[in-house]
Structure 1
């Protein structure tokens, strides 16, 4: 199967949001690398700068008003190999957890909201903080703000989940998230203060998103609604789902922002399966049900 067929399969499969986010980032990076090389060899490097300005988030308000779409495009744009490498690795590791427990749509809405709040923190910092005013106009690219939102969200959702880190061993993800936040704070007085502040904006959104979801408020609903509207335009009709629930189940779902609680019988069966085969034997749906039950 060709690369193009693989890419097409990625975007035609349902419940594949994490891979789609990864592929979009990699495709944009690959296109920029190829165009940058071609434009350099043809003596048209200035055209590359013009192209990048259409994607990078400007820190000055006039520039942002001229390029409002950059509040999202910057979060899918990378120029340096190690920048995209570490962002995509973190997105994959932590995005898998969010996707398993909250589903594809909430992963996408978390990524988008993290990008938007990161952009907000970035622009406000350069326009309101006197120490950063000399750098006003500096652009930003990279998914770090959105990825930090996913990292902190996963740590807020499952603080004691453990990753086995190379040369370190098992580490609870709440400590990984704390380290990410501390590194961003420490980097504010470095070469990229606005970018580090954008990371903190993403971290704030990640914590707030899960905190509010557990209280029954889904901050990602507007993002999901826009996605469904765009999907309806592309496919010619909205996607409809028919469900049959008791009034009690609907009330519970409403209280928890759509996180309907599974019956106790199902939870008992899942717990029995864990006792027999371990947690890793659970399917994605079983893990989501177990998480929803833990929120009662």
Structure 2
């Protein structure tokens, strides 16, 4: 491939092969259960997912835009960093996305756990409830949760009559949060975008639907601000509703912190080959 560095090329190839694998197998659930990032309370969580989710994508549009961004910005960044430092930076940004996502997950989970603590359920029983499959088509249904809960809690000497509507709602939210998953290289790529903006602040960029050149030092913070707005409000501006905005912000913060400290140590004198 012309105009592309080796590491970026290999990362794109790995991502494309993983995406093709999900299509060839024909059952996305197999790949998703194994390689998408699940939350620690989920029965499907595995340690390797912290890395493998970065090479998984939900659909063609998802992988197309991520790989275009990796090619467009990653090539220039790798030319400055060198191969080893680029890989370290890329994966570290992806891990930073995971860390912030998990932190926010626990911030959301803890008050819900308080809400259901009066039920007196054991940790084992709660874990089984939050891992129940309550999906019907593309939607989670609280009626399915109640139907599947009844015989389960009866085995532990509890009855549905003792569960209030507020507690059902809290258990439903816990189930929704726990059974969620995350895929995509977006967190790592947000770190790369930040690096590009700090290395080449005056480079001019533009959106396809807004053909006005904007300097990277304004364009990239603007993208991050939009992600932050969407994360706080739940309102999507350009991305699908299921976009992991918190992961984007985590990757961007990690990328910024690494660049800040590396630039203090005169980045170009410490290139890793």
Please give the range of the TM-score, normalised by the shorter of the 2 chains.
0.5 to 0.7
SS in 1 for 2:181: coil
Q: Which residue of 1 aligns with 2:20?
A: 30
Runs in 1 of length 4+ with deviation above 6 angstroms?
none
Q: Which residue of 1 aligns with 2:57?
A: 78
Q: Is the 8 A contact 1:60 1:126 kept in 2?
A: no
Q: Does 1:111 align with 2:90?
A: yes
Q: Does 1:49 align with 2:59?
A: no
Q: Does 1:206 align with 2:206?
A: no
Deviations 1:26-85 (A, max 9, x none): 11111111212xxxxxxxx4xx41332110101234547x51000010001012111111
Segments of structure 1 that go 5 or more residues without pairing to the other structure are: 1-5, 37-44, 217-255, 261-287, 289-296
TM-score normalised per structure 1: 0.60
Question: For the structure 1 residues 35 and 62, does the alpha-carbon distance in structure 2 shift closer, same or farther, using more than 3 Å as the test?
Answer: closer
- 2:11 is aligned, of 17, 21, 29, to 21
Q: Does 1:177 align with 2:220?
A: yes
Mapped partners of 2:268, 2:214: distance in 1: 32
Mapped partners of 2:267, 2:211: distance in 1: 38
Q: Is the 8 A contact 2:42 2:178 kept in 1?
A: no
SS in 1 for 2:35: coil
SS in 1 for 2:205: strand
CA RMSD of aligned residues (A): 2.6
Question: For the structure 1 residues 63 and 199, does the alpha-carbon distance in structure 2 shift closer, same or farther, using more than 3 Å as the test?
Answer: farther
Mapped partners of 1:148, 1:137: distance in 2: 25
Q: Deviation at 1:100?
A: 2.0
- 1:192 is aligned, of 239, 242, 247, to 242
TM-score normalised per structure 2: 0.65
Q: Which residue of 2 aligns with 1:127?
A: 106
Q: Does 1:91 align with 2:31?
A: no
Q: Is the 8 A contact 2:66 2:185 kept in 1?
A: yes
Q: Is the 8 A contact 1:60 1:137 kept in 2?
A: no
Question: For the structure 1 residues 98 and 160, does the alpha-carbon distance in structure 2 shift closer, same or farther, using more than 3 Å as the test?
Answer: same
SS in 1 for 2:248: helix
Q: Which residue of 1 aligns with 2:202?
A: 160
Q: Is the 8 A contact 1:72 1:116 kept in 2?
A: yes
- Number of aligned residues: 198
Question: For the structure 1 residues 127 and 72, does the alpha-carbon distance in structure 2 shift closer, same or farther, using more than 3 Å as the test?
Answer: same
Q: Deviation at 1:118?
A: 0.6
Q: Which residue of 2 aligns with 1:136?
A: 178
Q: Is the 8 A contact 2:205 2:219 kept in 1?
A: no
Greater relative contact order (CA < 8 Å, ≥ 6 in sequence)? 2
Question: For the structure 1 residues 135 and 62, does the alpha-carbon distance in structure 2 shift closer, same or farther, using more than 3 Å as the test?
Answer: closer
